[in-house]
Structure 1
Amino acid sequence: MRTPARRSRRTAAVLAASTALLLGLAVAPAADAASRHQHRAATLDDLARQHGRYFGAAVDNPELSDTAYADLLGKEFGATTPGNGMKWYATEPQRGVFDFTAGDEIVNYAKDKGLKVRGHTLLWHSQLPSWLTSGTWTADELRSILKNHITNVVTHYKGKVFAWDVANEIMNEDGTYRENIFYKTIGPSYIADALRWAHAADPKVKLYLNDYNVEGTGAKSDAYYTLIKQLKADHVPIDGFGMQAHLALQYGFPYQMQQNIQRFADLGVDVAITELDIRMSLPSDATKLAQQADWYGQVTSDCLAVRRCVGITLWGYSDRHSWIPSVFPGEGAALPWDENLAHKPAYDAIRNALTAVGS
């Protein structure tokens, strides 16, 4: 007959063994998950974050239904930009009537995948609703419309986006102001007004001007340099300059890119590569793909070389959903993944630039 003490020791031993078994069952999957995480190949965003940058890609709403494509966005990148869902025609289709459905879908997807979101764009000469472009407005009326639009959109996405392209493509190639509806009706003061209204609606969000063909030095980038310098002098809230970087092999590489990024950084603003793609005349071949890869690597290295170049966003990421063939017939193959979501040499060039010693 066992004594109570012996029974107590035996019971304790059984309980201890059972507890150890249960803990083992509970801990093992967590340990396996940690091990899997440690052995997961670093993504482009993982590598960019080692340099204090982000690496993102734009996406449009219909593309989210392509599951394999959308999954790649969530796995490889750290930020996204809605291609169309936050533009004026989508967010205010009727005067004073706001619809955030498209933008919210991408914001919610990004939140689920742990991605940051760049807001794009509060004002642009294109993709405006017909009620706005067909109207006859006084300067005061259009200022009121613009203020109301910016205030409502920025307020809705307050805390959900980290940056806004406030004014998009407001310069001509020769450095003169684009004569959009806002410039013709209000004059150039609409730019500072838009920045002030966006800041008032969300004081923490980063505010950008954004354009293409400004990656190298020239009349257009000079005009933005002068404008941003003046905005800073006038204490207008401006945080960054977006270089879209829609490049094409047949037009040559903007070899002053690093110096150009640096001069904007020296004004006290961040610079972001916001819409990167590098197109070519079709069909593609090994020579063109090698040149494209070299350019992708150079853009990445140029950004890494300037502390205030804060990140890179591809405009799409796979040739499967690229905007280029429909806009530039006979051109395409512009992105680091092909139509089957397979890596191209450009992908390897980006990785190499992000992992280069001393970058």
Structure 2
Amino acid sequence: MFKDPMFDSQLLEWKVYGNATWIQVDEGEETILAYIKTPSETKPSGSVIAKTGCWSMLKGGFTAYEDEKVDLIFKVPNNKNEVWIDNVSLKSFTKAEWREQQKRSINKYRKRDIKIKVTDKAGKPLEGANITLTHTRPLFLIGCGTGYSILEAKAYQDFFAARFTAATPHNEMKWYYNEHFQGVENYETADAMVSFFEKNNIAIRGHCILWDSTNASNYWTQTLPPREVLYTTIRRIASVVSRYTGRVIAWDVVNENLHNSYYESILGANASAMIYQAIRYAKLEFNHVTRAIDPHTPLFINEYNTLEYPKDIKVIPARIVHKIREIKSFPGNEDMVLHIGMQGHFTLRANISYIRAAFDVMGASGSPIWLTELDFLKSDTQHEDLENVLRESFSHPAVEGIIIFGGWKKKGCRDECINAKDYNHMPIGCGQMCLIDNNFKITPTGELVDRLILKEWRSNVVTVTDKDGVFSGRLFHGDFNLTCSHPSIPNPVERTFKLEKEEGALQFGITLK
């Protein structure tokens, strides 16, 4: 029996470390956290819910920013419970090795082989045919959160539509925005935002149907008896979901329902499970037709601190997986597929190896993951940390999309915010991150995002066919425009195609006449 089991090691500067340990407890279950203790600080590096009768793997990691001796400590809440630890491993990677692993993963999971054969009308292969491929829309969605400011400036609209393929309204779909006064609904702003996004082929995340925080719930619901809370909750679900079903690609259902329990405190412990079930399976009448409120749109849990703050035991990766199983265990929910939304509001440096381990644990549940509200506090390392998290997320096979919270608003992106250097005393009203300033000039943070999503993670190709009339390559998934021509043939060919996420190469031919 150990109070806090400890192991020591010598770390090297600017190396990324991954740690894995098998843990079992003698009785019941325990939430066990792993910490790295240095002479100057103690920081978390992983967690697990350890159980009796079986071994559970604790996965985690950390980055060493200088040479130092450290202790690896396992914190056990119940000092009377016996803990067994086996096969403690600590593996180091240089930054270059870590980046190379990311590149290999991106090549494997985000790309597919393609083979195009060009012939003349007689079927003869054409060597030297010119092929131009324009990657018009990536399959992997990377978007931006924004408020109603998207309706206020044409320059901001142009900036947004030119680079982002998904969007999340900040507040405009939330209940307190749509029904500030009981019985008086107002979707005018949300409708206008949805119309703009649809016009520009920008996928929309529905955020959010309900919020499990007392402080973020409509004040007037807090004075109602439980039966009326249930009635108004069902009415809210039917109102917003039926309005936008088929127009959004996701619903954040009960926002932050691991940190909070407003609906559980009123409607009972199974409140979240019942709400998810109501959206997916409850039948209502629409235009004299009875159907489910929304039988198809992916349903998300959406939480913070899982990636940002590993010490928050309410939302460690194992707790996220447990919440999904809890919702699915409710009678009638067994076949429900739930998705995981990780907000990603970072106030500390990003622990990239821990983030990878968290993705591994949550991804093993089979639930797709999105980063839903990614931003960093303004600091000297903001750009580096943002790039690291974007690369780690894009390279992980369990992650299916990213929303960056870097939208423009006039007060938040003014010059004194963009140029501020005293990060601990920012001017009032400044945004966490701004991708453009009030002159709609792209900021250094915006340039970083553009470099990744418009250049590095796009497949725009200009090439010629080989002696067999063939072009072969490995390209990012998505929609493409193709133009093909040959000096000896006057008429070029133009077409579009989709490079889907499937096994095997996409092969097709082009005939020039």
TM-score (norm 1): 0.73
2:405 to 306, 312, 315: 315
Match of 1:160 among 243, 247, 256: 247
The more displaced of 349-358 and 163-172 is 349-358
Inter-CA distance 65–350: structure 2 relative to 1 (3 Å threshold): closer
> How far 1:100 sits from its partner (Å)?
1.8
Higher RCO (CA 8 Å, separation ≥ 6 residues): 2
Question: What letter matches 2:195 in structure 1?
Answer: N
The corresponding residue for 2:143 is 56
1:230 corresponds to which residue? 326
SS in 1 for 2:440: coil
Give distance in 1, aligned partners of 2:439 and 2:337.
40
Deviation (angstroms), 1:165: 0.6
Name 2:339's counterpart in structure 1: 240
1:211 counterpart letter in structure 2: E
- TM-score relative to the length of structure 2: 0.52
Residue 131 of structure 1 pairs with residue 131 of structure 2: no
* 1:105-184 matches, cutoff 5 A: 105-124=192-211, 125=213, 126-133=215-222, 135-138=223-226, 140-172=227-259, 178-180=260-262, 182-184=263-265
- Contact 1:294–1:346 (CA<8 Å) still a contact in 2? no
Residue matched to 1:190: 271
Matches within 5 A, 1:8-157: 46=137, 49=138, 52-124=139-211, 125=213, 126-133=215-222, 135-138=223-226, 140-157=227-244
Structure 1: 5+ residue runs without aligned partners? 1-37, 173-177, 282-287
CA distance in 2, matches of 1:315, 1:321: 15
Instruction: State which of 260, 263, 270 in structure 1 corresponds to 2:358.
Output: 260
Distance 1:323 1:169 in 2: 27
Superposed displacement of residue 76, structure 1 = 1.4
The whole-number CA distance in structure 2 between the counterparts of 1:329 and 1:89 is: 30
Give the length in aligned residue pairs: 295
The offset of 1:145, in angstroms, is 2.0
1:301 is aligned to 391
Shift of 1:337: 3.3
4+ runs of 1 displaced by more than 6 Å? 356-359
Question: Counterpart of 1:25?
Answer: none
Q: Secondary structure at the match of 1:280?
A: coil
Report the CA distance between 1:144 and its aligned residue: 2.3
Superposition RMSD in Å: 3.0
Alignment partners' CA distance in 1, 2:145 and 2:248: 14
- Closer/same/farther in 2, CA of residues 101 and 329 from structure 1, 3 Å limit: farther
Structure with the higher helix share, 1 or 2: 1
8 A Cα contact 1:280 1:333, kept in partner: yes
Contact 1:276 1:314 (C-alpha < 8 Å) held by counterparts: yes
Contact 1:239 1:269 in 2 (8 A): yes
Aligned counterparts of 2:198 and 2:411: Cα–Cα separation in 1: 22
Cα separation, 1, equivalents of 2:268 and 2:351: 31
Shift in Å, 1:171: 2.8
**C-alpha offsets along residues 196-229 of structure 1, whole Å, 9 cap, x if unaligned?**
1122311111100112111154512342221113
Deviation for aligned residue 1:110: 0.6
- Compute the displacement of 1:127 (Å): 4.0
* Aligned CA distance change for structure 1 residues 229 and 114 (closer, same or farther; 3 Å): same
